[in-house]
Amino acid sequence: MPYIERLQVDAEGFLAGIDIHFTPGLNVIVGARGTGKTSIIELVRYALGASAFTKSAADRGKQQAQAILGGGAVTVTVRDGDSVFQAHRSGSMDSPSFAMVGVSCTVLGQNEIEAVGAQKSGRLHLIDRFRDGRQSSTSLVESLTASVASSTQAIVDLLREIESLKDTTASAVPLRSELESAREQQLELLANSQASDADQQELTRLQASAQVIGVRSELIAQQEREAAGTKSQIQRALSDLSEDASWPDGAGKDVFESVRAHRRRVAEALTSASTAAQAWEHAIRDQKVTNDRLRVRVDQKSRELRQSLELLQAGASQAARTVADLEERLGQLAATNSRLAKRQEHLATIVAQRDEALNQLENAKQAIFDERQAIVARLNEQVGPIVRVEISKSAGTEEYSAAIIGALRGSGLHYNALAPLIADAVAPHELVRWVENQDAAALARVVNLATERAAVVLSALRASTPDLISVNVPDEVDLLLLDGKDYKSTDRLSLGQRCTVVLPLLLGHTGDPLLLDQPEDHLDNAFIAETLVAALLRRQPEVQYIFASHNANIPVIGNADNVIVMASDGENGFVAEAGGLDDQTIVEAIERIMEGGVEAFEKRAAFYGSQEAE
């Protein structure tokens, strides 16, 4: 199990040169006010990039860490079995210098403990800190969500193209009817003209050629658009690489030499691709020229033949020209229809790929929920019946509802009332399928809308399906405290009651390293001794806790494995003493500087004396 082994600060700032060693089990940082206890907690959070439960706490903690560091930096060492990880971060760095795979910790600064119970995200985080391998499962969900969103965007683009192609091919039916009539008229005129069989066969051949030319013209036009689009994308990518990633003066040794080699290879590959795209365009242009020349020859022969036929029968030339024009237009429509069929096949493939990713995503989310549910059951065994934890799958629809509202703005619909109804009744992937299929009847049935109004809703959502299908709909956790005969949610509890619920849950199950700054705030001594300390005494020896505290009951009765005594000379904070409760200097420091230090040791002696007597 991972634990924070060491914290080091460069020779600058209030904690300059400090070097603190932590152990598994309970570590308690003690000292007078202003000696840097809270700063140590915030420096660990800052170095590891650990999240906060509230934005205000995150901002406050970051500012405090940067102020403490000044121009210096902090290094935190984490040990996980035989593996050792180090995170290094200066006051000017946006993030830690090293991302530690699979290693995390939970940090709660002052006033954050009560936020755990008050906020939905905090309650879920409380459960998640006990999940094994949560980073890998979270990464899997994020990867699958990105894949689903990308596929959905491709589906949006395909549906838009297919709709345009359908509009174009819709004219094929009347055009065929028109061509049939024109052919009948042509046959009648040719029969009356006593044209030779050879002339009639040549006319038919030339008109069939017109249809072939029309097919080729449309196919060439499609290729032209694809080649131009591909060439444009390549050129944009090359343009993005045009800026030289040169190493600036004053930055020390150039570490970009190997980076530039990769960059050059990418640029070379893109340049080669650009050349190939140009060759593609030229080849298409050559085919277009060839097809245009064929069109000219066919038109010339057709015109000569029509003129000779016109001499035999008035109107024959115009009839033949009409048939040729219609043949060419039908040829173009045939090419368009062929593309439509291919795009529909491609759409079916993309939808199938997305469905598979959606199934994998649902399975991953279900596995996370099952793990959370098991954790909730274990916690309830430990803290019940006074405290109860409940979990509901995919119940947090606020973000989903907000995404629907954003998509419906400007539609003329009452989106503030509609969005929560839809979000509560329809899963995002189901809503997206209804949008794509324009299944207004399904939405109308589930949300109790008129079908016409449901159709307007689906149309308004069409452009936003990638955002809707990837929206986060988290599980929801409720924490309840037994108050008399009834359970009350933490939303309805006082600060002290909230801490009464949260602290035993934080301490009651094996999890990642837990750092708390002054957990005794808002709690009375009775609760600290009877509940908080009792939970600490039940801890697993390999689980790490790092507390900054003023209350002597926590390190003394909680049987701390390591006590770090902080002091200050007015300019800097430093470690005055560090060790276990069997070290007399630690005992004296606790009695001297901590609230109720002597009484805490008396309680400890009485407690362990009674255990020995038993």
Work out whether the CA dihedral 536, 524, 594, 4 comes out positive or negative: positive
Q: Helices (H), strands (E): how many in the chain?
A: 21, 13
Structure tokens at 153: 């965007």
Residues linked to residue 6 through DSSP beta bridges, in sequence order: 21, 77
Closest CA to 125 of 99, 100, 101, 106: 106
Tell which wins on pLDDT, 230 or 260: 230
Helix axes 120-128, 316-383, angle to 10 degrees: 70
Closest CA to 341 of 204, 162, 607: 162
What whole-number distance in Å separates Cα of residue 274 and Cα of residue 286?
18
Closest CA to 215 of 368, 76, 344, 327: 327
251's CB contacts (< 8 A; 6+ apart) are none
Query: What's the pLDDT at 309?
Result: 67
The Cβ of residue 502 has, within 10 Å, a number of other Cβ atoms equal to: 26
What whole-number distance in Å separates Cα of residue 376 and Cα of residue 13?
43
Largest pairwise CA distance in the chain: 131
Please state whether beta strands 486-489 and 476-483 pair in parallel, antiparallel, or not at all (unpaired).
Answer: antiparallel
- Residue 58: Cβ-neighbour burial (10 angstroms; 0-12, 13-18, 19+): middle
Contact 108, 432 (CB under 8 A): no
497-542 per-position pLDDT tens digit: 787 788 888 886 666 888 999 887 766 667 777 777 777 877 788 8
Query: What's the pLDDT at 553?
Result: 84
Contact 503, 535 (CB under 8 A): yes
Structure tokens at 332: 């173009």
Question: Which pLDDT band, with edges at 50, 70 and 90, does 240 fall under?
Answer: confident
In one-letter notation, the amino acid at residue 579 is G
Quick check: 340 pLDDT over 50?
A: yes
Our measurement of the distance from residue 181's CA atom to the centroid of its chain's CA atoms, rounded to an integer in Å, reads 59
88-128 per-position pLDDT tens digit: 898 888 777 765 555 678 888 767 777 777 788 888 888 88
Query: DSSP for 310-363?
Result: HHHSTTHHHHHHHHHHHHHHHHHHHHHHHHHHHHHHHHHHHHHHHHHHHHHHHH
Sheet holding 19-21, edge to edge: 19-21, 3-9, 73-80, 83-90
Average pLDDT over residues 368-372: 95
What whole-number distance in Å separates Cα of residue 303 and Cα of residue 72?
88
281-336 per-position pLDDT tens digit: 999 999 999 988 988 888 888 788 777 766 555 676 787 788 888 888 888 888 88
Question: Which pLDDT band, with edges at 50, 70 and 90, does 612 fall under?
Answer: very low
Query: What's the pLDDT at 326?
Result: 84
Query: What's the pLDDT at 337?
Result: 87
Please state whether beta strands 73-80 and 3-9 pair in parallel, antiparallel, or not at all (unpaired).
Answer: antiparallel
Contact 568, 35 (CB under 8 A): yes
Work out whether the CA dihedral 139, 143, 146, 148 comes out positive or negative: negative
CA count, 13 A, side-chain hemisphere, 16: 11
Please state whether beta strands 514-517 and 387-392 pair in parallel, antiparallel, or not at all (unpaired).
Answer: unpaired
Q: Which helix (H) or strand (E) holds 179?
A: helix 172-193
471's CB contacts (< 8 A; 6+ apart) are 399, 400, 403, 428
Query: What's the pLDDT at 172?
Result: 77
Query: What's the pLDDT at 464?
Result: 94
Contacts 24+ apart (CB under 8 A), 270-276: 270/234, 270/237, 270/238, 270/241, 271/238, 273/234, 274/231, 274/234, 274/235, 274/238
Q: What percent of the chain is predicted at pLDDT more than 90?
A: 40
557-610 per-position pLDDT tens digit: 888 999 999 999 988 999 999 999 999 999 999 988 887 788 888 887 776 665
Q: What global pTM score does this model have?
A: 0.75
In one-letter notation, the amino acid at residue 599 is E
Structure tokens at 402: 């907000």
Q: Which helix (H) or strand (E) holds 390?
A: strand 387-392
Quick check: 69 pLDDT over 80?
A: yes
Contact 43, 7 (CB under 8 A): yes
What whole-number distance in Å separates Cα of residue 347 and Cα of residue 151?
10
Query: What's the pLDDT at 613?
Result: 43
80's CB contacts (< 8 A; 6+ apart) are 1, 2, 3, 102, 103
- Residue 218: Cβ-neighbour burial (10 angstroms; 0-12, 13-18, 19+): buried
Closest CA to 56 of 114, 123, 134: 114
Closest CA to 436 of 153, 68, 129, 48: 153
